[in-house]
């Protein structure tokens, strides 16, 4: 079996077209323009790229974008004050503080200070709590993107054995929670694996749907999956530079080996990555509609 390649680039394009249209209608009918503020502290090159991509996508879709790039020596108080200001700014419906923050800053304290109504990353405990009880205002972007890839690729989630490798608060735990809800696009039996899991392959071989967010190249090899599995590879690992100086990226799954057994698989790059930013745009649109009482 050679796997169907689930292209996040293509699915993201499709969703962005839908969003662009809805954003134009919102402006025409309600004179409402969704606004996103991004906050970047320091000069981490990967974070700069991510923030740049978010800004570019906002502009392409008709979302008002405001970028706050702060020096690495920014204090906790200064950052908290900026978040307070953005919380009160009526043009801004969503606030995204790019992680990771420099070590001297208490990340949790900053994220807790974002008004949950503007928390378009969905990381505030209020939003994670709502997600857990099945009544989310905002679904965190990467897990939401994973669910959309499964749904739009026609993967049967209802009743499936889903195995998630990784238990981070931004990927593993929320995607497990989303897929176990008694809802369309979910209702799966979910197992979460981590470094304390005794026999990882025992679990991964049982998976109808395998979601891997470990941050380790080749954490999953062909002998660890069953024939016909659907694989979502969330990992982004930089393993060197190409001759032209570009980062060489690989996922957590041995793509070449696993694709021979899988029914469908996401590539890296071009899989989950483009979906994450798209879901951020969707959450920003949702934040604007919530603020205006339209939903
Ligand atoms: P993280 O916070 O480092 O968590 C990694 C998780 O994987 C941990 O729970 C860890 O277990 C588990 N793990 C690591 N190695 C393992 C192994 N060999 N066997 C079993 N479990 C293992 O990472 P994250 O933030 O969730 O990100 C995971 C990957 O996804 C990274 O490569 C990241 O760059 C990528 N990512 C991509 C996107 C995107 O948009 N494409 C978004 C977010 C993240 P313990 O808890 O026991 O340590």
pLDDT in tens, 185-205: 999 999 999 999 999 999 999
CA separation for the pair 191, 4 (Å, rounded): 24
pLDDT of 207: 98
Q: Are 164 and 172 in contact (CB under 8 A)?
A: yes
Q: Is the pLDDT of residue 1 over 90?
A: no
For the question of residue 84 being annotated catalytic, the response is no
- Between the CA of 166 and the centroid of ligand 1 the distance, in Å, is 5
Domains of the chain: 30-115 (3.40.50.10860), 141-275 (3.40.50.720)
Q: Specify whether the backbone of 158 is left (phi greater than 0), alpha (psi in -120 to 50) or beta.
A: beta
Q: Which of 117, 118, 121, 233 is catalytic?
A: 121
As a whole number, mean pLDDT of residues 279-288 equals 98
Place 107 in a pLDDT band, splitting at 50, 70 and 90: very high
**pTM for this entry:** 0.96
Return the higher-pLDDT residue of 81 and 46: 81
Q: pLDDT digits over 168-183, tens only?
A: 999 999 999 999 999 9
Residue 121 falls in the annotated catalytic set: yes
Please list, residue by residue across 85-110, b when 16 or more beta carbons sit within 10 angstroms of its beta carbon and e when fewer do: ebeeeeebbbbbbbeebbeebeeeeb
Q: Of 54, 234, 266, 270, which is best to mutate to test ligand 1, by the most ligand atoms within 8 angstroms of its C-beta? A: 234
Given a cut of 90, is residue 220 above it in pLDDT? yes
């Amino acid at each position: 079996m050679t796997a169907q390649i689930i292209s996040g680039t293509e699915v993201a394009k499709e969703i962005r077209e839908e969003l662009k249209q809805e954003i134009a209608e919102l402006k025409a009918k309600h004179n409402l323009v969704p606004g996103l503020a991004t906050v970047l502290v320091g000069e981490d090159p990967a974070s700069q790229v991510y923030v740049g991509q978010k800004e570019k996508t906002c502009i392409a879709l008709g979302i008002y974008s405001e970028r706050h790039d702060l020096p690495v020596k920014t204090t906790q108080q200064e950052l908290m004050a900026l978040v307070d200001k953005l919380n009160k700014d009526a043009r801004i419906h969503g606030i995204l503080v790019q992680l990771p923050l420099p070590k001297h800053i208490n990340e949790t304290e900053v994220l807790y200070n974002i008004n949950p109504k503007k928390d378009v990353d969905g990381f505030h405990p209020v939003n994670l709590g709502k997600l857990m009880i099945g009544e989310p205002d905002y679904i965190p972007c990467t897990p939401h993107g994973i669910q959309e890839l499964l749904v739009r690729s026609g993967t049967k989630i209802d009743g499936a054995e889903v195995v998630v490798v990784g238990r981070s608060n931004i990927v593993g735990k929320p995607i497990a929670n989303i897929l176990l809800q008694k809802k369309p696009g979910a209702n799966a039996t979910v197992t979460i694996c981590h470094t304390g899991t005794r026999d990882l392959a025992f679990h991964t071989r049982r998976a109808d749907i395998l979601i891997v967010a470990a941050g380790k190249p080749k954490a999953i090899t062909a002998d660890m999956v069953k024939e016909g599995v659907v694989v979502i590879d969330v990992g982004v690992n930089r393993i060197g530079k190409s001759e032209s100086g570009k980062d060489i990226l690989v996922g957590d799954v041995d793509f070449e080996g696993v694709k021979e057994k899988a029914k469908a698989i996401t590539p890296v790059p071009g899989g989950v990555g483009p979906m994450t930013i798209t879901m951020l745009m969707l959450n920003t649109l949702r934040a604007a509609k919530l603020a205006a009482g339209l939903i």
